Amino acid sequence: MTPRILPAAMAACALATGLAACGSDDSNSSASSGGTSTSTASTVKATLNGAGSTFAAPIYQQVGADLKDKGLTINYQGVGSGAGVSQFAAGTVDFAGSDPALADADKAAINKGEPIQIPFALGAITASYKVSGVDTGLKLDGATLAKIYLGKITSWDDAAIKAQNPDATLPSTKITVIHRSDSSGTTKGFTQFLANYSPEWKGGPGVDKDIKWPTGTGAKGNDGVAAAVKQTDGAIGYVEQAYALQNGFTFADVKNKSGAYVAPTLESTSAAAEGIDIPADLGVSTIDAPGAAAYPIVSQTFAIAYKDGCKAGLDKDKATGLKTFFNYLLNDGQATIKKLSYAPIPDSLKAKDQAVVDAMQCNGAAIGS
């Protein structure tokens, strides 16, 4: 498996951490309706503050750069999905980024109006590793990954790993497990996959954005896990693909529901969204998709806001700017998403997203020309 590296100029903004303002005061366009590209919309100028998913942070930060001449400044802080949703509920940010769909408890806390969640990109959660002498992708299944993260498999030459990789020369190197230390949508997606193949995991650590880990070392954010894997021989960590590629990681082919070992590629990531159920609130899940060509650990990511931002306390420019921003994510921004090694959403999901964005309001009135 040959790692692909993101272009340096793009990665410099895309993988920046902390509060990133990828925007400017130039003003050439504004909100659109009906899926109109921001390049043809009327002018608006606004600063939008968001927080949440580190999985999607490269997208938000690069899209902020894309929109710098559209009158929008996008400030986004990758603090983890759980923290981002909490900040949005508290009213300290204008939008949140979250990888899992909003839970009932989240919706109850978001009480300034009706929330909307827009799934706009897909990304593979890789099982990335650093093992001296193993420079090609291993094959791993869900049961084996669960045993590694339970602390039951502790060396790279374990019989369960050998059985799936009969032609590989596996060292006796100790496995160092790296996991997230913060509340993370990536964690929820990864632990859901483990639970699907391990009753012990399902009945023990369980599935959530923040769990009690049986073993391993914690690191904050996708970037923190990536850094820990990069520094540790024998390490394994679950890392979003854009971060894995940026760090030149080797990652495993993972066995999917149909029994095929599949590498995380844009094509296999997109395949995970084919034929999925789309609930009325758009709270989709792409973990362990049934397709034969689908990579099994794929997360969707959501942009979360209020349907009526003005009733929730935003001024008209911010509410209009959010609609412009979301329209861009669903239209011209899909090309940016692909360049950043995420997979665009299928047309079936995009159409439902667009209907929700078109219905965004300010004090009960439609936004846009």
| Per-residue pLDDT reduced to its tens digit, 132-166 | 989 877 999 999 999 999 999 999 999 999 999 99
Do 65 and 171 fall within a single domain? no
Structural domain includes residue 295? no
| 369 C-beta neighbours (distance < 10 Å), count | 12
Higher-pLDDT residue of 1, 193: 193
Six token digits for residue 310: 């003005």
**CB 318, CB 48: distance < 8 Å:** yes
pLDDT on residue 43:
62
The average confidence (pLDDT) of the chain is 89
Say yes or no to pLDDT of 227 above 90: yes
Hey, what amino acid is at 151? G
Do 12 and 112 fall within a single domain? yes
- In total, how many domains does the chain have? 2
Structural domain includes residue 239? yes
Structural domain includes residue 292? no
pTM of the predicted structure, to 2 decimals: 0.84
pLDDT on residue 44:
80
Say yes or no to pLDDT of 83 above 90: yes
Structural domain includes residue 317? yes
Say yes or no to pLDDT of 36 above 70: no
Say yes or no to pLDDT of 298 above 80: yes
Phi, psi angles (nearest 5°) of residue 162:
-60, -40
- For CA atoms 58, 60, 66, 69, the dihedral sign is negative
What CATH number did the domain enclosing 267 receive? 3.40.190.10
**Which of 231, 251, 271 marks a domain boundary?**
271
Do 95 and 168 fall within a single domain? no
Do 199 and 318 fall within a single domain? no
Structural domain includes residue 287? no
Do 114 and 145 fall within a single domain? no
Do 114 and 252 fall within a single domain? no
Do 114 and 68 fall within a single domain? yes
pLDDT on residue 137:
77
pLDDT on residue 112:
96
Range with the lowest mean pLDDT among 4-8, 214-218, 227-231, 298-302? 4-8
pLDDT on residue 18:
40
**Which of 254, 271, 288 marks a domain boundary?**
271
Q: What is the mean pLDDT of residues 195-211?
A: 97
Pairwise CA distance, residues 16 & 62, whole Å: 10
Structural domain includes residue 322? yes
Hey, what amino acid is at 319? A
Do 128 and 84 fall within a single domain? no
Hey, what amino acid is at 335? A
Structural domain includes residue 282? no
Do 160 and 70 fall within a single domain? no
* Boundaries of domain holding 149: 124-271
Do 103 and 32 fall within a single domain? yes
Q: What is the mean pLDDT of residues 118-128?
A: 97
Do 128 and 102 fall within a single domain? no
Do 177 and 221 fall within a single domain? yes
Q: What tens digit of pLDDT does each residue of 91-109 get? A: 999 999 999 999 999 999 9
Q: What is the mean pLDDT of residues 254-259?
A: 97
pLDDT on residue 182:
94
